[in-house]
Structure 1
Amino acid sequence: MKDWKTFVNDLASKMGFEDYRADIDAEHGHGALYLHDNPTLVKENLAPIVESINHILQLVARKENEKPLFLDINNYRKERESLIVELARATARKVVATKEEIPLPAMNSYERRLAHMELAAHPEVMTESVGKGKNRYVVVRPVGAVAPHNENDDNDDTGEDNDNGATAAMTETPPETNDL
Structure 2
Amino acid sequence: MSEQDTAAVVDTTDDEQHLAPTDATDNPAATDDADDLDGDDEVRDEADIAADYIEELLDICDLDGDIEIEERAGRVYLTVTDDDSALRVLAKPDTVTALQELTRIAVQAETGEFSRLILDIGGSRDARATELQRLVDTAVERIEAGSTTAALPPMSSYERKLVHDLVAEKGFHSESEGEGRDRHTVITR
Q: TM-score range by the shorter chain?
A: 0.5 to 0.7
Q: 1:98 to 1:78 in 2, by over 3 A?
A: same
Match of 1:156 in 2: none
Unaligned runs of 5+ in 1: 143-180
Following TM superposition, by how much is the alpha carbon of 1:24 offset from its aligned partner in structure 2, in angstroms?
Answer: 2.0
Q: What SS does the corresponding residue of 2:78 show, helix, strand or coil?
A: strand
Unaligned runs of 5+ in 2: 1-44
Mapped to 2, the partners of 1:130 and 1:55 lie a distance apart of 22
Check the 8 A contact 1:8/1:22 in 2, yes or no: no
Q: Does residue 104 in structure 1 map to residue 148 in structure 2?
A: no
Match of 2:33 in 1: none
Q: Does residue 73 in structure 1 map to residue 121 in structure 2?
A: yes
Following TM superposition, by how much is the alpha carbon of 1:26 offset from its aligned partner in structure 2, in angstroms?
Answer: 4.8
Q: 1:9 to 1:38 in 2, by over 3 A?
A: closer
Once the two structures are superposed, the pairs formed by residues 2-151 of structure 1 within 5 Å of their partners are 3=48, 4-14=50-60, 17-28=61-72, 29-34=76-81, 36-37=85-86, 42=89, 46-62=92-108, 63-64=110-111, 65=113, 68-123=116-171, 125-142=172-189
Q: What SS does the corresponding residue of 1:71 show, helix, strand or coil?
A: strand
Report the TM-score, using the length of structure 1 for normalisation. 0.61
Tell which structure's C-alpha radius of gyration is larger: 1
Mapped to 2, the partners of 1:66 and 1:102 lie a distance apart of 33
More deviation in 46-55 or 4-13? Answer: 4-13
Question: Letter of the aligned partner of 2:131 in structure 1?
Answer: L
Check the 8 A contact 2:58/2:65 in 1, yes or no: no
Question: Letter of the aligned partner of 1:9 in structure 2?
Answer: E
Residue deviations 1:82-129 (CA, integer Å, cap 9, x gap): 211232133223312324211112212221121112112543x32122
Mapped to 1, the partners of 2:51 and 2:80 lie a distance apart of 10
Check the 8 A contact 1:24/1:32 in 2, yes or no: yes
Q: 1:96 to 1:23 in 2, by over 3 A?
A: same
Check the 8 A contact 1:57/1:68 in 2, yes or no: no
Q: Which structure has the higher relative contact order (CA within 8 Å, separation 6+)?
A: 2
Mapped to 1, the partners of 2:180 and 2:119 lie a distance apart of 23
Percent identical among aligned pairs is: 21
Q: Which is richer in helix?
A: 2
Aligned residues: 136
Which runs of at least 4 in structure 1 moved beyond 4 Å after TM superposition? 35-39, 65-68
